[in-house]
Amino acid sequence: MKKILLSILLLPITASAVDFEFGTGATHYKTAHDGLWYQESYPHRLDLNSVPMSLGISHKIGNTRLRAEYIYLGWMYSSAVWASDGDYHPGTTAPPIYIGNGKGSVSGIILSVSRDVNILGVPFYAEAGPFFYVPKWSVEIRDYKMRTYLYDLTTTSQWRVGSMLGFGVRYSGVDVSIKYLGMQYNQSEPFPPIWDHAYVLETKVYF
């Protein structure tokens, strides 16, 4: 009787067993457009690559896997010279006015559903889901001629909703994937981040 009772108590634990996942790899941020915190006609440097980290859990039901993942995309940096917005257009020769040194990062939670896709015997999968994230973005503004500090501009750090699409392969304790993370770009926002999406190449171990 005790054995039967113990089996009944352990059944939900076995049925709901999850994989724990830890990952890292490479992030590449993509800028929203020319004219947002940099201008192609003027000197600029964009350091859009970073190192992400993630922690998550997943549970497989048949050929479908449910995943909850916290991901930190890492820092990116920019340094640019620009003219006033009213004077700028591609190929402009208007004198520059400002220097802007920016930095930013993104962290958030991905809730995804993936489906196995067996290709030539290799266990690939495709996944999709919402990306709930918080951006951090600030720019130090300096006078171009005098190089003196003027002020900082900072985006509003609040939860936002984006999207995630991914493709990967999972086998023998290792999961390798590439993800597209779409993020909001709102023209009405006073100081939006320089990026509007990112790509993440990630290698995870799971157990």
E strand or H helix at 88, and its extent?
Answer: none
Share of the chain above pLDDT 70, in %: 92
pLDDT over 60 at 123, yes or no: yes
Provide the total of helices (H) and of strands (E) in the chain, helices listed first: 1, 11
At 197, is the pLDDT very low, low, confident or very high (cuts 50, 70, 90)? very high
CA distance 9 to 13: 8
pLDDT confidence band for 17 (50 / 70 / 90): confident
Q: How confident is the model at residue 107 (pLDDT cuts 50, 70, 90)?
A: very high
CA distance from start to end of the chain: 33
Residue carrying the six token digits 């039967």: 4
Given this model, what pLDDT does residue 90 score?
A: 75
Highest mean pLDDT: which of 77-86, 89-98, 130-139? 130-139
Look at the domain 26-206 and name its fold: Porin (2.40.160)
| Structure tokens given for 170 | 């999972």
The token duo for 175 is 């999961």
* pLDDT of amino acid 5: 35
pLDDT-derived band of residue 185, with 50, 70 and 90 as boundaries? confident
- Among 49, 26, 46, 50, smallest CA distance to 36 is for 46
H or E segment at 3?
Answer: helix 2-15
pLDDT level of residue 15 (50, 70, 90 thresholds)? very low
